[in-house]
Amino acid sequence: MASPALRQAIENGSFIAAPGVYDLISALIADRMGFKALYATGYGTVASALGLPDAGLATYTEMIDRMGRIAEMTKTPVIADADTGYGGLLNVRHTVRGYEKAGIAAIQIEDQEFPKKCGHTPHRRVIPLADMVRKIQVASDSRSSADFLIIARTDARTGHGLDEAIRRGVAYAEAGADIIFVESPESEAEMAEIGRRIDKPLLANMVHGGRTPLLPVDRLAELGFAIAIFPALGFLSAGHALRDAYEDLKRHGQTTAAVPLYSFTEFNHLIGFPDVWEFERRYPESD
């Protein structure tokens, strides 16, 4: 079941900066850092698991397997991307129950048409406001605990303007969402307007290379935001490091000091080999 830690942190007024994790290695590393939450990014998860773009291609079954494993292997509360809820109202109920049972702390559902697209890419279309309100009502009613938080995301800003995005955010809050996520505001002034007009905990999406300005967490708090997610930080930094390492090997025929590497000893500890070694010590194989 969902940990109460994330809800309590929000209620206590603690600002939450959540790094993006996309596989078990990134999740295990971030889990050791002392963050108040981790953000299990749909973009990164689909890319790492399937090698495909975040364009509505991953199924509920594929995503719940990955998200649930991240939650199981970490101690930090996990905020998980659930796209559009993977279908209609019955699918939303099934998704909420599945994510909650898997130990996720908060689920993000967006108002895009299916198939959805990454929030910082073009040609996104949104469903009617009333349809999304019903999804949020179903999501809120389907959870078994108030510790499991519902994040309602609207992608209306890009195609319909800021006023429509804020109107939707207000409606989703009234429908039962705990946190409102207005995707892709395009200036600090727009973010301030969101903070003034939506009376609910707000989530800011800090995408490196995206449409929204990257602001420090202190400034985001001043603007009225409670959470900032950094979904691309993990996979963009990992991609850069892998490219450099592989290019180094290709160029020199060996690895050089130019490429920093994670300690193999530390990595063994990260993924749990000491437990295996202790088990083997206690229960040696018979000859």
Question: 67 and 105 in one domain?
Answer: yes
229 & 255 share domain? no
Same domain membership, residue 243 and residue 208: no
DSSP state letters, 218-279 = HHHHHTT-SEEEETTHHHHHHHHHHHHHHHHHHHHSS--TTS----HHHHHHHTTHHHHHHH
* Residue 98 belongs to domain with CATH number: 3.20.20.60
Q: Which residue numbers in the chain have pLDDT < 50?
A: none
Residues 230 and 123 in one domain: yes
For 83-123, the pLDDT digits (tens) are 999 999 999 999 999 999 999 999 999 999 877 766 566 66
* 252 and 179 inside one domain: no
DSSP at 33: T
User: Residue 245 is part of which domain span?
Assistant: 239-282
Structure tokens at 279: 């088990």
Residue 2 has what pLDDT?
Answer: 79
Residue 287 lies in a domain: no
pTM, 2 dp = 0.94
Is 60 in the same domain as 145? yes
Domain end position, chosen among 201, 219, 234: 234
